[in-house]
Amino acid sequence: MTASLNHTEYQRARLTRDARFDGLFFIAVKTTGIFCRPVCPVVPPLEDNVEYFAHAALAAQAGYRPCLRCRPDSAPGSCAWRGTDTTFTRALALLDAGELTTSDLPTLAARLGIGDRYLRRLFQERLGMSPKAYALFTQVMFAKKLLHETSLSVTDIADAAGFNSLRRFNDAFRKQLQLSPSAIRRSRKATPELRLSLAYRPPLNWSLMLDFWRKRCVRGIEWVNGERYGRTFVMRNSAGEQARGYFEVCPADGDHQLQLTVSIDKPVFLKPLVTRVRQILDLDADIQQIEQQLGAAGFHTVLTPGLRIPGIWHPFEAGVRAILGQQVSVAAARTHLERLVDALAEPLNDTHKLFPTPSAIAASDLAMLKMPASRRETLRRFADWYHQQGEEKPVTDWLALKGIGPWTVDYVQMRALGHTDIWLASDLGVKKALAQLTEGTAFDSAALKPWRSYATFHLWHYLG
């Protein structure tokens, strides 16, 4: 069981099928050998026949197979069981993105700055399984999702899930889930685009997120059409391979789901792509818990229900946006970005472009940007540094670059890296909103931890 819920809360949540608990725990039924999500529509089993697990992988490890009706592979993720250990959280994010499909455990541990023995111990203590076992389970569950929802061939699905052979895929599928891929596969009409469901725990203020993006969309890179948000992307893995494409997200027919439509040139990147899309949409946040804490800390008058943090696709792009947005309005920053994209972006197709690369920006005189020369120099300096060494360096290293200060670094950590506890105390908008909220009295942000990034966005929206 998770530490955040007691037995009575588990029981109440499963009997009421409360979607706010979807993904926070899983229900295993001893008499059937099946594990489900709290929202499963089947007749609830007797309490004596139920076991609760904090993660689907733990239920599978205990010998239960996933329900084919509620599909645990489609549940939103949960951060509750991760704790506050930054290293563990980073390791999970890399494994979820398929890091072990292109590298090994010692390489992953070195990237995290720890030894592989300590990494194994960390996973055993926190999750009760090894990093490799966790990674294999996520691969198999993603493959199961593709079998349910797409018309990809089983061979392509095995490739997309990170398996280097069909035989290994079939063997892992049976061992992990006690099912065969053929038991999942349904006949589907082939389509040029992939469509997948993205579940979330309510509330989600989708219209608010769309409004935020609509004001900041860069022509050719992003778009908001009706209820749809879309953008182009480039993805790279640790082996140096690259994938390109675009995606769109809109509300789905099912409750508490979005629909993701993807066009990608290499299906092997599908798993990290879906992980990244969930991150920039902030779909795995437990908004109910966050809003309860912010409200208790005195923010109840500024809370906008369902507000989530809209992410930026890549840290480099976020850095460029932050530099070009310094001391100008949102509209002016957008104009600068569109001029940069028009001049330096590589086309993806007849309609869409890819965000300019660090090398393209570093090699340009940036004359298209009508701004102080010092800011153009900051952008060129940043792009050149990123091109030379920035991909693997922490964002905090940017502070050594002339023209980049703490606000820029914090902004990027909040919007591109998904840090939940960034407090932009020096931000003018935050200061103005706080002055209205507290009527000029001193404010201690400690009570808002670890959700100060959300508090920042609530203050911006309140001011706007």
Q: How far apart are CA 410 and CA 315, in angstroms?
A: 11
Short-list 204, 235, 419, CA closest to 311:
419
β-pairing, 50-53 vs 34-36, is: unpaired
Backbone angles phi, psi at 263, to 5 degrees: -120, 115
Task: Please give the C-alpha separations between residue 51 and each of 31, 41, 75, 178, in angstroms, as whole numbers.
Answer: 11, 18, 18, 18
Instruction: Answer yes or no: are the C-beta atoms of 20 and 204 closer than 8 Å.
Output: no
Structure tokens at 290: 């966050």
Give the list of residues 6+ apart from residue 310 with CB closer than 8 angstroms, or none: 209, 212, 213, 280, 281, 282, 415
* CB 80 within 8 Å of CB 286: yes
Q: Given 36, 40, 67, 217, which residue is catalytic?
A: 36
- The alpha carbon of residue 130 and the mean position of all alpha carbons in its chain are separated, in whole angstroms, by 23
Q: How far apart are CA 131 and CA 111, in angstroms?
A: 14
User: CA 351 to CA 355: how far, in whole Å?
Assistant: 13
Residue 261, token pair as written in the block: 């439509």
**Contact predicate 164/222, CB 8 Å:** no
| Contact (CB, 8 A) for 393 and 409 | no
List C-alpha distances in Å: 296 to 36, 293, 454.
33, 5, 14
Q: CA nearest 457: which of 269, 251, 212, 225?
A: 212
Is residue 427 a contact partner of residue 407, using CB atoms and an 8 Å limit? yes
Does the annotation count 36 as an active-site position?
yes
CA atoms within 13 Å, Cβ hemisphere of 222 = 18
Q: Which one of the listed residues 116, 211, 421, 427 is annotated catalytic?
A: 427
H/E stretch holding 36:
strand 34-36
The Cα–Cα gap between 348 and 384 comes to 23
Q: Residue 143 is which amino acid?
A: A
Residues with catalytic roles: 36, 427
